[in-house]
Amino acid sequence: MTTGPGAGPEDRDHYSYSHYASRHVAESFDTLRFGGPIGQHLAACQAAILREAFEPLADRSILDVGTGTGRAAVELAQAGARVRGVDASAEMLAVARARARDAGVSIALGQADAHHLPFGDRSVDGAVSLRVLMHAVDWRRCVGELCRAARWRVVVDFPSALSFAALESGARHAAGGLGRPVEAYRVMREAEVAAAFAAAGYRVVLVRRQFVLPIALHKKIGRLPVTLAAERGLRAIGLLRALGSPVTMVAER
């Protein structure tokens, strides 16, 4: 997650600073997000989309913004890309460095803010930012920075406003309004994200949607064959296209 140093002082109370600065959050993030059969399936699908978006990856320069624990960065590096990864959280970066070391890949990792990327215009072939726009203080500015730094393609993902994620998001915002410590993330419409890309001179060339039913429900059931069968049936009647989330969007200059 990246909304750290460089953003305005008025934003420093935003949960995206404090939550991801926690060592406990950093060390437990992968287990929480990608643990178990459903989490592993989610990670595999994410990796496949990145390969599809940036192929051929050999020697391609990719910037991973909000690299977090470095999962996407390592996947890209293992496929032959030259990867730079940035995040606002030093604790998340510490986990990413250990992951890269264990995987035997070289990734240039550093602390930076998605709203103010310390990279020149069109200085990398592509940029990817996963699970960032939903939390960022100013997501449109983040999209603009990604598009500025990349010369070719940008990949982002976000929870759809037309999905069950909207219910969870609404509940979290209500809890946050009552003073509870929650990640009150936003849900987003595909049209508004596409418009932000268009404003930066990019056009959307690929959209992938993952689940109709909430990921939390799939994880609670914990049986991948059940998940695959249920989602296959829902896709067959057109619900994935209408209600699928998260949405991964690839845009090209």
In this predicted model, what pLDDT tens digit does every residue of 4-29 receive, in sequence order? 444 444 366 677 767 777 888 888 88
Q: How far apart are CA 240 and CA 232, in angstroms?
A: 9
Q: Kindly give the residue spans of alpha helices, DSSP state H, lying in the chain.
A: 15-18, 23-34, 36-54, 71-78, 90-103, 139-149, 165-177, 190-199, 215-221, 224-236, 239-243
Structural contact between residues 249 and 222, judged by C-beta atoms closer than 8 angstroms: no
32-51 residue pLDDT tens: 888 899 999 999 999 999 99
How many Cα atoms are found within 13 Å in the side-chain-facing hemisphere of 170? 8
- How does the average pLDDT of the chain come out, rounded? 91
Q: How far apart are CA 34 and CA 46, in angstroms?
A: 11
Residue type, 200: A
For 232-249, give one letter per residue: b (16+ CB within 10 A) or e: eebeeeeebeebbbbbbb
Q: How far apart are CA 194 and CA 133, in angstroms?
A: 13
134-155 residue pLDDT tens: 999 999 999 999 999 999 999 9
- Give the global pTM: 0.90
pLDDT at 19: 75
172-209 residue pLDDT tens: 778 777 777 777 789 999 999 999 999 999 999 999 99
What domains does the chain contain, in order, with CATH numbers? Answer: 9-252 (3.40.50.150)
Residues 6+ apart with CB under 8 A from 186: 133, 134, 135, 139, 159, 169
Structural contact between residues 16 and 113, judged by C-beta atoms closer than 8 angstroms: no
